[in-house]
Each structure stands twice: as C-alpha cells, then as structure tokens.
Structure 1
C-alpha cells in the first residue's frame, strides 16, 4: 500500500470514513500497541473554522498538517495529547483526528498506562494516546508506515453501519459546529461518549 497515495488521492471526508476498520499500530520501546480505528473526525484546513490551519494559519507546531498525506501531527489540548493524520498533498493542510480505537495488541500495558479497564481505556482521542504510552510530541512530523506508527494496508473489520455526527468540542463555530464530520462505527462500545443503550455488545458494530 502506498500510504501517501492513500491519504492524497481521495476526499478528506471519504477517507475519514474509510479509515474505520483499519488498524493503527505503535511500535514503542515498551512494546507493541495496536487497535482498530472506530471513530474519526475530518478537518478541512483553511476553510474549516475548527481546523488548526483555518485561514492558512501555519506555525512550527502545526507544520505536519502542511506535509504530504500520511504525516503524523501530535498536538496538545488542555494538557492532553491528540493525533491527526495529514490528508491531501503537501501544502493542503487537511487532517483527520483519530478519536477512538478498539484495542488489539498490548491491552495489559494500555490498562496499566491508563489505570483503567474496559471500554474507558481507549474510548477517546487523548485516552488512546495515553493508553499507547505517547507522552510527548517527539514523533509529530514523522510519516506513517516509515517509523513507529503503522496504518494497516487493509481493513481487518468492516463496519456494518457508519454514522456521521457533528464533531465533539467544536463550539461557537457555525456553520462548522453542526456539520456532520465525525464518523463512528455504529454501536462500537469504544466510541467516545457512547451511551450504554447504544452499544452493540454482540458484534461491536462489525459485519
């Protein structure tokens, strides 16, 4: 799989949906962590009031968004760390936030890192980062599938249904607050802020 081509040759909104069901792996000094992507959010760069690159804002910190598709962008929000993948060709600063993962490898270590068990281990963007033991921005600007972070060539699971909802935490930025740019595997219990009544504990939302 040409990872750069994958992240550069389709619409950002389409990629945010297609990423669901692929695995995301972090090969760290402490071991291998991986999970299936179950929740994403799309950010449409300069036109998107919720994007870090809105209006062409370009800083040293958000420079990875301006790099080729498949570049890792790690940033802090209220002392927590989140991760976007840069989308589109260099110079077009779109991003997709990986919001939640269903754990595969390294669950015991994830639980130790988070001091939590169950769905709460990785059901949020800062939660899975903490579970994976990512504590700083050192790897921001690195490329997927070149170094520590691996995005699977194929889906390992196929969502039965993908729901599109407004993004979380985008306040007072209409019309962008209300746009359905968050994508989830319907019923997957690792989706952030999912009420128990909406969880599908039989199939986790996969076909």
Structure 2
C-alpha cells in the first residue's frame, strides 16, 4: 500500500469515549485519514452533526431501531458507520458506547494531503466543492461501504489529532424535515468561516477558543 510522506498518528481509543455532543465539537480540526493502494489522502474535519438515537427522531437508531445497517451503532465507540444515501456513501463515527447507539456524521473536510488524488477521484479542481459535503468527502478520500465497522484508531482509515479551531459555530442540523422537535436541536458544529463547510447558516451560538498549534 502506498504511503504519503506525511506521517499521521491515530488518536487513542479513549478519545472516542466523550459524550456524543462533546465528541462532535472536538472532532473539528482533527484529521480524517484514508490509506489506499493509490496513496494516502487526508482532510481536516470542518463540519459535523451529532445523532443521539434512540431519543433522536432523526437518528437511524431512533427507538433502538436495530437493523443490519444500524448494528454497528450498538457496538463500541470509535468504529466507522458507513451507509448509502442517494447513491453516496456517508461516513460516521460511532459514539455513545455499547448498546447506546449514537454517532457523529462527518459533513465536510478541508483537504490537507493527497490533493491530486482527491481531484482525480472527484473529477474536479481544488475548490470548496471538492469536499464540502458528506458524500463528496468520502469519494475524495476513498472511503467505501467496505469500511463499515473499521476501528478508527488504526490504519487504513483513522482519525488523527489536528489543531483546535479558533471559533466554532453551533446550529441546527441540515435536511432534518420530518423529525419533530429534532429539527431544532443545535447539534451541528462547524469551524466558523471555513470555506469548505457544506452550508453556511446563521449560528445559534459561537464558541471562541484559544487555537492550538498542529
């Protein structure tokens, strides 16, 4: 398998033990890395959404719905939950712990490594459209349904430490139309002003932090 000249170290499994909402915010600035036979591609996570089934009507696991698709959500935190929506593979980080099926959807990334490979896979140039959506980023990175259940603490698909953003915006999730009160939950997180965010909307809350280096 080809390796990129840049070396990334996966986070420890303890990282994924955070409560789901905290994890969704914490993932911003981290790196999502995928190694394939074609090379390594990586991107800084700039947008996430939390899904807290079984109490969340927008979650696949609402009411403890346990199916072949959602089975991995009932397992340990830190596993990959992939599923297909409108022919696109979407990538989630399992959270909540065993028998508490929650997850964080990765909605957008900013390319960091393997840019040429990403552009080749997507068939477009380096613009925000390259990875500013959950289906776009998986195609760019080479994440597939076969990654379902993979531990995100080891190669070839993993989360690596990055840098804490200076400002995090919090607002409503996108495309939650028929989920009752869940439509208004402020469970979407994005790096304020980042051009790779999938959709810019007025934030319900903005948290300013002291950015870390990385």
**Matching of residue 122 in structure 1 with residue 128 in structure 2:** no
* Aligned mate of 1:28, from 13, 28, 36: 36
Give the structure-2-normalised TM-score: 0.85
Aligned to 1:12: 20
1:136-191 Cα distance to aligned partner (Å, 9 max, x none) = 41110111122311211x3x322111111111111121210111110000000000
For 1:193 and 1:44, locate their aligned partners in 2 and report how far apart those are by CA, in whole Å.
22
1:18-69 Cα distance to aligned partner (Å, 9 max, x none) = 1101111001121101010000000001000000100010112211111101
Aligned to 2:178: 172
For 1:15 and 1:191, locate their aligned partners in 2 and report how far apart those are by CA, in whole Å.
18
- The alpha-carbon deviation at position 2 of structure 1 amounts to 6.3
Give the structure-1-normalised TM-score: 0.88
- The alpha-carbon deviation at position 133 of structure 1 amounts to 2.4
- Contact 1:4/1:68, CA 8 A, preserved across alignment: no
1:190 aligns to what SS in structure 2? coil
- Contact 1:26/1:132, CA 8 A, preserved across alignment: yes
Aligned to 2:188: 182
- The alpha-carbon deviation at position 88 of structure 1 amounts to 2.1
- The alpha-carbon deviation at position 193 of structure 1 amounts to 2.1
For 1:30 and 1:59, locate their aligned partners in 2 and report how far apart those are by CA, in whole Å.
33
* Aligned mate of 1:163, from 169, 179, 190: 169
For 1:127 and 1:22, locate their aligned partners in 2 and report how far apart those are by CA, in whole Å.
18
Unaligned 5+ runs, structure 1: 196-205
For 1:13 and 1:66, locate their aligned partners in 2 and report how far apart those are by CA, in whole Å.
17
Q: Which aligned runs of 4 or more in structure 1 are off by greater than 6 angstroms?
A: none
2:177 aligns to what SS in structure 1? coil
Aligned length: 193
**Matching of residue 133 in structure 1 with residue 133 in structure 2:** no
1:180 aligns to what SS in structure 2? coil
Aligned to 1:72: 80
- Contact 2:34/2:40, CA 8 A, preserved across alignment: yes
- Contact 2:11/2:153, CA 8 A, preserved across alignment: no
Unaligned 5+ runs, structure 2: 1-9, 202-210
- The alpha-carbon deviation at position 91 of structure 1 amounts to 1.2
For 2:149 and 2:25, locate their aligned partners in 1 and report how far apart those are by CA, in whole Å.
23
